[in-house]
Amino acid sequence: MKIRVTVKRPYGNIEVEGDSLDEVVQGLEAFPEWLVVIDKMMSTTDTGQEEELGGIIEVSSEGPQLIIPKNRVSSKEGIGLLLYSQNPNPLEPKEVGALLSLSGHGTSGYGSRLSEMRREGNIIKEGSGYRLSVAGKKWIKELILKLKT
């Protein structure tokens, strides 16, 4: 029987797997060293996006956070920006809600906003999560330009 432990990171999941509990424990003991290497690799590949979202979104150990004032973006725009920051990885609805709350942009109606955005063609449901469609990416890129001016 295989034993698997999954750790969620802002850029995706990392899994440690083994045939026994001892193997998994050994893998987890080495995990902090690997996590530093993986995080460093991911941050160097996403510098263009980080620069693009500078002043709008900041990535922390808990995930991306909107740092732009709540009155400058709507709930839909906030969701779109968070999904854009996680591209191409989809976010589950509960993750969207948690990230909005963490950012101080929490809203109880985010599930309805996701449904509206899907009907409008700005997001796509992928498994149990959502990601931006091509039209959604274009919309968010235009929003970023507007917010930066």
pLDDT tens per residue across span 54-91: 889 988 778 888 998 888 999 999 999 999 998 888 99
- Give backbone dihedrals phi and psi of 22, rounded to 5 degrees, phi first: -60, -40
72/99 same-domain check? yes
100, 118, 124, 53: CA torsion to nearest 10: -40
**Domain range spanning residue 84?**
47-148
Q: Rounded to an integer, what distance in angstroms lies between the CA atom of residue 97 and that of residue 100?
A: 5
**pTM of this prediction exceeds 0.85:** no
Residue 40, judged by CB atoms within 10 A of its CB (0-12, 13-18, 19+), counts as: exposed
Q: 3-class DSSP state for residue 23?
A: helix
86/100 same-domain check? yes
Bridge partners, residue 3, by sequence: 18
18/90 same-domain check? no
